[in-house]
Amino acid sequence: MQDALVNIDAERTLLACALNDSDSLYRIMFLVEASDFSLDSHRRIFFAIEDLAESGKPVDELTVCDALGAKNQLESVGGAAVITGLSEKVDAGLAKTTHVEYYAQLVLEKSRRRQVRAAGERVCGATCDPSVSTDDCLRMVQESLLQIEAASKKSTARHIKEVIPEMLCEIEAQASNQGLVGMSTGLQSLDLATGGIRLGEVWTVGALPGRGKTAFGVQVTLANASAGTPVAAFSLEMQDTEIAKRFLCARSSVGATQVRNPQTIRNERWREVMESAAGLSELPIYVDSRPSLKIQELIASARLYIRRYGVKLIVVDYLRLVDAPGRELRERVGYVANALRELAKSERIGLLMLSQLRRPEGGMNAKPTMLDLKESGDIENHSHVVLLPFLPVGDDGGPRPEEQQVIIGKNRNGRIGSLPVYFDEKRLQFEERAHM
């Protein structure tokens, strides 16, 4: 009966390949670690092989025996006979060095299973300890699974011939879609300047309270859901029903003021409200409006939505409200931004982070800059694109539409600068200035 937790033959064959073929050794060095082997003797042997290779020394049965002997570890692995005996299957032709990646995957599969079992035992022990809270137990489960999954995502460099076809497809898509290669922002001029939100990218929208960051998140959500792309929105600031009202304003001629005060909606307009709501209910939008979320909970939930609903875009409103480890706000925000960057890259999704700006020194109508992002260093470093909506107000508190802009503060794939826009106060949506 096959052992569910170990595969000794695969471990021995993998070590034999590393000992007998330098090409095989360098193909697996970035795939497996010594800790992935189940036997202590195999871990010691692989560590010695790896140490020799990294030092630029030759790797073979003799040099490995010598290295282990120098550390007084040769006898602990079973002596020289064990090391020379590793190559039996390779020498007999029962195993081939050309299949070394496959043998590595067999070893890694068992390693992951042992990690899952160890994590389960730790959690089981914690649940039996009354001093450990249930929240801490749940956090332990989530962190353990994330660590195991992250460790399994090791990859090696790809030859440029594998990358070139993907690059050409991206260029062709951009040429045929009016510059759009990723997911739309709902603004054609912005799509043209950035190419859209590509899979694996993190975008940040920074704005003062009430200056359009949630509206922009709603706009991006609707633009992509309407195109059939499933979107998950984490709304820590607003309830799901409030977000739904934003969607309704954007998709009907009933204005935001009327939605907030529905008694002002005339009877003949209610049919339009119902029809717009029915259309919205068919869109692939998933709203998670828990008032507080730890970053581990957000990541775990996001992965669930990605697998269950096929989500390709995630919106987080807003960054500072997500709980994370760290003594200072900067540490916590940096932890969240980095975790979301890793999520976007590993899951190949687009991710839109909304963030508040600090109050500008030049007054409320001063143009925002990258320095105005709260904890801007960490957020900027982890973002592919940073957008700063600029919606100045007049002395009477009313909008100044002729000055409204979306400032592209960072753009890894294109130009930076300002785009003239018009913010429709009725629909709470950004539009091209020419459409006023």
Please give the structure tokens belonging to residue 20.
């007998």
pLDDT of residue 135: 84
pLDDT of residue 140: 83
Report the distance separating Cα 434 and Cα 170, nearest Å: 29
Q: What are phi and psi of 325, to 5 degrees?
A: -65, 150
pLDDT of residue 155: 54
- CATH code of residue 246: 3.40.50.300
- CATH code of residue 72: 1.10.860.10
Do 123 and 141 contact (CB within 8 A), yes or no? yes
Task: Let me know whether 280 and 426 are in one domain.
Answer: yes
Domain total of the chain: 2
Q: With respect to residue 76, please indicate whether it lies within any of the assigned structural domains.
A: yes
Task: Let me know whether 63 and 209 are in one domain.
Answer: no
Cα-only R_g, the chain = 28
Task: Let me know whether 285 and 377 are in one domain.
Answer: yes
Q: Which H helix or E strand runs over 96?
A: none
Task: Let me know whether 24 and 63 are in one domain.
Answer: yes
One digit per residue, the tens of pLDDT, for the chain of length 436 reads 678 899 999 999 999 998 888 878 877 877 888 999 999 999 999 999 988 887 778 888 999 999 999 999 999 999 999 998 988 888 778 888 888 889 999 999 999 899 889 888 998 999 999 998 988 888 888 777 777 766 665 555 667 888 788 778 877 766 666 667 789 999 999 998 898 999 999 999 988 887 888 999 999 999 999 999 999 999 988 888 888 888 888 888 887 888 888 888 888 888 888 888 898 999 999 999 888 888 878 887 888 888 888 999 999 987 888 888 777 877 888 888 888 998 998 889 999 999 888 776 767 778 888 887 765 557 888 899 999 999 888 877 788 888 889 999 999 878 889 999 998 888 888 999 875 4
Task: Let me know whether 320 and 216 are in one domain.
Answer: yes
Report the distance separating Cα 303 and Cα 312, nearest Å: 11
Q: How many CB atoms neighbour CB 223 within 10 A?
A: 21
Final residue in a domain of this structure, among 133, 151, 169: 151
Task: Let me know whether 106 and 221 are in one domain.
Answer: no
Q: Is 252 left (phi over 0), alpha (psi -120 to 50) or beta?
A: beta
| Residue 376: C-alpha distances to residues 102, 316, 392, 409, 420 (Å) | 44, 17, 22, 11, 24
Q: Which domain holds residue 398?
A: 177-435
Q: With respect to residue 166, please indicate whether it lies within any of the assigned structural domains.
A: no
Q: With respect to residue 320, please indicate whether it lies within any of the assigned structural domains.
A: yes
Do 153 and 30 contact (CB within 8 A), yes or no? no
Q: With respect to residue 160, please indicate whether it lies within any of the assigned structural domains.
A: no
Q: With respect to residue 171, please indicate whether it lies within any of the assigned structural domains.
A: no
Do 314 and 231 contact (CB within 8 A), yes or no? yes
* Residue matched to tokens 């594998």: 162
User: In this structure, which amino acid lies at residue 263?
Assistant: Q
Q: With respect to residue 200, please indicate whether it lies within any of the assigned structural domains.
A: yes
User: In this structure, which amino acid lies at residue 320?
Assistant: R
Task: Let me know whether 145 and 184 are in one domain.
Answer: no
pLDDT tens per residue across span 232-253: 999 988 888 888 888 888 888 8
Please give the structure tokens belonging to residue 205.
């929208």
pLDDT of residue 375: 58
Final residue in a domain of this structure, among 151, 185, 219: 151
Task: Let me know whether 100 and 211 are in one domain.
Answer: no
Q: With respect to residue 194, please indicate whether it lies within any of the assigned structural domains.
A: yes
Residue 339: closest CA among 360, 365, 316, 363: 316
Task: Let me know whether 146 and 183 are in one domain.
Answer: no
pTM for the predicted model, two decimal places:
0.67
pLDDT of residue 30: 72
Task: Let me know whether 64 and 113 are in one domain.
Answer: yes
Q: Which H helix or E strand runs over 106?
A: helix 100-127
Task: Let me know whether 129 and 60 are in one domain.
Answer: yes
Task: Let me know whether 135 and 262 are in one domain.
Answer: no
Q: With respect to residue 195, please indicate whether it lies within any of the assigned structural domains.
A: yes
